[in-house]
Structure 1
Amino acid sequence: MVTIGDVARVAGVSRSTASYALSGKRSISPEVREKVEEAVRSLGYTPNAGAKALATSQTKVIGLLARFLEDEFAPAMLQYILGVTNQARERGYDTLLLTDEDGVAALKRISNSRMVDGFILLNVAENDDRLDILRQAPQPGSLVGLPGDPTGIDAFDLDFVAAGRLMVETLHELGHRSLILVSQPEHVLERGGAYVWRLANAAEQRAAELGIELHHHFGSSSQPEIGRELEQLLDEHPSATGLLLNNEAAAAALPNVLHSRGLTAPADISVIGRYSDDFARTFSLPYSAIDSAADDLGRRAVERLISRIDGTVDAATTVVDLLAPRIDDRGSTAVPPSRH
């Protein structure tokens, strides 16, 4: 195994000088630093993580708390995990993924061990019991998701209220007057998934203001249940000319459902979903959708967290950053059939 001593020998400097050149803890001339860096590259030297942590008080690791829940669609959660891990890697940080069912215990354990420099929390609930622990932790944290009380913690999320309104307004402008909204399973709402009711309540309110009939259903998160539910909804509401999907499993199941009924979008029914562009590509979804912005949210959360780790932002100032929704138009909306 290549050591710092090997680097020093090849660079023609002392061991301490090589160490200082790599750590930045002392001023080293550009010429000497270049020799050390060239030796590192030629030898393929990787600093010992434990020794580096002791020298810099940093581990260069971010703790990511996420849970794969049975009543949520796992591929959708993976998009958020990738958004965080990809950005962390670009910034030179590894990611420790924690999927413990007991998030409070996991957060306490990792925080006390000083294994990470900071935390990012996914699956953020309206009244999330991890937040008090995070507020007391010596490491900073960021949230991907908006809780009821984000005091003292940076939070990043899609503006789900604006998203619900935008969905309804887009189809209203095309002449639709009867719509179906399929949300996440009701268990997600009961567990504190506030994004579900934020979007649904906003959509229902805007529909009422515009004189639109909106049929709201809490869908399942897996096949074949969600497929059967979509079939039933289309049977129960034959006058509905538009589908709004705040449920990734429903979006993934819809192509087969429409094909089995001999329907196409937008000729027979208009569709607007809410999921990431990567998700759409993964499942070859042809539907216009509000981008859930998993990559962007992960990038923002990581950047803010690293700024806190580095001490380059005011420790007393936190942000709540809600991304304005935008619809990626994939051609699945049009005037309702009766208006062609």
Structure 2
Amino acid sequence: MVTLADVARHAGVSASTVSYVLSGKRSISTATRERIRRSIEELGYRPHAGARALASSRTNILALMMPIRTDMHVPVLMEIAMAVTTTARAHGYDVLLLTGEEGPEALHRVEGSALADAMIVMDVELEDPRLPHLKAAERPAVLIGLPADTTGLSCVDLDFGAAGAQCVDHLADLGHRQIAVLGEPPAVYARGTGFAERTLVGLRGAAAERSVGLLHRPCDGTYAAVAATVTRIFEERPHTTALVVQNEAAVEPLLALLRQQGRAVPEDVSVVAVCAGQVAAEASVPLTSVGVPAQEMGRLAVERLFAHLDEQEPVGTVLIAPELEARGSTGPAPAGEPERADGGERGRRGHSRR
């Protein structure tokens, strides 16, 4: 096992000089520092984690607060977690994963015990109860998500509002006048989860600007829930010609149900999804989609966190611009009598607005 003394002998310096280079406690000339770095690499020296923490007053651990809930799509969460882990390891850090729904209590535990140098927080709500504690904490934190008030916080997320608007604009450009949205499970909206609410704001804003009718229905991801929701949509708005899906678990049940109902995609119904690009590309009908850049979100969160640790960057918000990729699930609206945005046919007399 290679020791610090071995590195010192190989580099031709004292053991204390090697220690100073590792801890950064003293200024060492560039030439000497590079010589020690080469010796460390050639010998394969790995500093003892406990000693390194004592020398630097850091644990070299990041905490990732990622509550696992039954109403959230776990594969996307794990993709973000993997990006956080690999980026942290590239900086010489390990990741402590907190998956419980503890809220502020978990923050107090990490802060009070000095388990980690900094924290990344996911599953962010608009009025998240953890925010006051994050703002008061001594250790830096980055949110993957956007609360209603971002003052004093550092956040990274997809611009979900713009993503929702892109879906509507794409379908409106194809001539669709009645669009329905299969949203996240009801519990996600009940919590005021930021990404779901912001997507809905973007969808509604673009629909109003384009004079397009929009119907939103929360939906669990089971086949039975999707079947009930789609049946209700076509009963309420029989002239619906396009569906936007923001629920990855509902994608395949929806496509299977449309096939069973004899509705061809995209000839009868166009479908757009807000989901991971791989899910859209590998669906039974390749889906036009706005991708959720899980890996980029995780990487950016870690990079910003290290910038905060080194006091190189002020807090603030970074929103990733959405990109819509057209595939085989969207096409021109079916030919027929044009409709109003309120769901009625043009020229139909005596029909009251909804």
TM-score (norm 2): 0.85
Matched, 1:225 2:224: yes
Residues 147 and 280 of structure 1: is their aligned pair in 2 closer, same or farther, counting only changes over 3 Å?
A: same
**Which shifted more, 230-239 or 286-295?**
230-239
Residues 229 and 35 of structure 1: is their aligned pair in 2 closer, same or farther, counting only changes over 3 Å?
A: same
* Conserved? CA contact 2:119–2:141, under 8 Å: yes
The aligned counterpart of 1:292 is: 292
The aligned counterpart of 2:199 is: 199
* Conserved? CA contact 1:184–1:247, under 8 Å: yes
Residues 259 and 87 of structure 1: is their aligned pair in 2 closer, same or farther, counting only changes over 3 Å?
A: farther
Q: Give the deviation of 1:120 after TM superposition.
A: 1.0
Root mean square deviation of aligned Cα: 2.5
Q: Give the deviation of 1:233 after TM superposition.
A: 4.6
Residues 85 and 263 of structure 1: is their aligned pair in 2 closer, same or farther, counting only changes over 3 Å?
A: farther
Per-residue deviation, residues 28-79 of structure 1 (Å, max 9, x unmatched): 4556545544443344321111211221222222111111111222122223
Q: Give the deviation of 1:162 after TM superposition.
A: 2.2
Question: What is the distance in 1 between the residues matched to 2:264 and 2:90?
Answer: 41
Q: Give the deviation of 1:16 after TM superposition.
A: 1.7
* Conserved? CA contact 1:230–1:257, under 8 Å: no
Structure 2 residue matching 1:207: 3-state secondary structure: helix
Q: Give the deviation of 1:269 after TM superposition.
A: 1.7
Identity of aligned residues (%): 39
Correspondences of 1:174-189 after superposition (within 5 Å): 174-189=174-189
Q: Give the deviation of 1:178 after TM superposition.
A: 1.5
Q: Give the deviation of 1:99 after TM superposition.
A: 1.1
Amino acid at match of 2:153: I
Matched, 1:335 2:329: no
Structure 1 residue matching 2:100: 3-state secondary structure: coil
Among 293, 315, 318, the alignment partner of 1:321 is 318
Structure 1: which 5+ residue stretches go unaligned?
A: none
Structure 2 residue matching 1:79: 3-state secondary structure: helix
Correspondences of 1:1-340 after superposition (within 5 Å): 1-28=1-28, 32-220=32-220, 222-229=221-228, 231-233=230-232, 236=235, 237-280=237-280, 286-314=286-314, 318-338=315-335
Residues 280 and 87 of structure 1: is their aligned pair in 2 closer, same or farther, counting only changes over 3 Å?
A: farther
Question: What is the distance in 1 between the residues matched to 2:266 and 2:283?
Answer: 19
Per-residue deviation, residues 157-196 of structure 1 (Å, max 9, x unmatched): 2222222222112111111111110111121111121332
Structure 1 residue matching 2:335: 3-state secondary structure: helix
Amino acid at match of 1:321: V
Structure 2 residue matching 1:96: 3-state secondary structure: strand
Question: What is the distance in 1 between the residues matched to 2:284 and 2:27?
Answer: 54
Residues 324 and 27 of structure 1: is their aligned pair in 2 closer, same or farther, counting only changes over 3 Å?
A: closer
Residues 266 and 283 of structure 1: is their aligned pair in 2 closer, same or farther, counting only changes over 3 Å?
A: closer
* Conserved? CA contact 2:285–2:329, under 8 Å: no
Question: What is the distance in 2 between the residues matched to 1:281 and 1:75?
Answer: 15
Residues 229 and 10 of structure 1: is their aligned pair in 2 closer, same or farther, counting only changes over 3 Å?
A: farther
Structure 2 residue matching 1:337: 3-state secondary structure: coil
Residues 233 and 88 of structure 1: is their aligned pair in 2 closer, same or farther, counting only changes over 3 Å?
A: farther
Residues 252 and 43 of structure 1: is their aligned pair in 2 closer, same or farther, counting only changes over 3 Å?
A: farther
Q: Give the deviation of 1:130 after TM superposition.
A: 1.1
**Which shifted more, 10-19 or 23-32?**
23-32
* Conserved? CA contact 2:66–2:99, under 8 Å: yes
Structure 2: which 5+ residue stretches go unaligned?
A: 337-354
* Conserved? CA contact 1:230–1:254, under 8 Å: no
* Conserved? CA contact 2:217–2:229, under 8 Å: no
